Amino acid sequence: MLQALPPLNIPTYGIVSLGGVTVGLSLFAWDFTRWWTSHKKRFAPKALAALAPQILCLAYGALLILSAGGIIGASADWSLWGTNQVGDVVLIYGLGAPTPAVTRSTHLALTPGGHAAVIIITVVIIAVCSKRGFRWDFVRQILAGVSLGLASSIAGFIGFAVAPTVSWVGDYVAGLL
């Protein structure tokens, strides 16, 4: 008989500092600026198609930080911790500025269907990268999404907008609704 495995309980970090938001916005600004300067007709379908993978990776990163835990959730937490540390060091030692916590007061959570959708999206991203090679622009935007997904400001809107939608779609597809 097959026996169910116990859940893997890895504690989550779940706090974003001003330094982490600064790193997330900087990573997004890097790729957005490069896109902006390389497309003369910015609202043409071809130019928008070049921007779409960046926006999707940003949304995926925000979903990762909203994951409940496990290996993927822990890797997102470690990434958030790293971006917080890098941003805090730059703000404190570079400018002498404080770095308060800017985490959203109400924590969003993905539903079981939303978690299933995150796994499917992870498989799709791995498939794209295995076909086209390693993409640093994907990594930068996923890290930006992880850094911005819990922010309480407009920077955190991506997590607030994407999480309920992905949870609803995941629950609908899995038949949980």
For residue 121, give its domain range. 18-100+108-174
pTM comes to 0.84
Counting the structural domains of the chain, the total is: 1
- Domain presence at residue 12: no
**For the residues 129-146, what does the mean pLDDT come to?**
88
- Residue 101, pLDDT > 90, answer no
Quick: pLDDT tens for 35-81: 888 888 877 888 888 888 899 999 999 888 888 678 888 888 899 99
pLDDT for residue 1: 55
- Please check whether residue 22 lies inside any domain of the structure: yes
Q: Which residue has the higher pLDDT, 14 or 143?
A: 143
Name the average pLDDT for the chain.
84
Q: Which long-range contacts (CB under 8 A, 24 or more apart) does 161-168 make?
A: 162/59, 162/62, 162/63, 163/62, 163/63, 163/66, 163/108, 163/109, 163/110, 163/114, 164/108, 166/63, 166/110, 166/114, 166/117, 166/118, 167/110, 167/111, 167/113, 167/114, 167/117, 168/113, 168/114
Q: Does residue 11 fall inside a structural domain? A: no
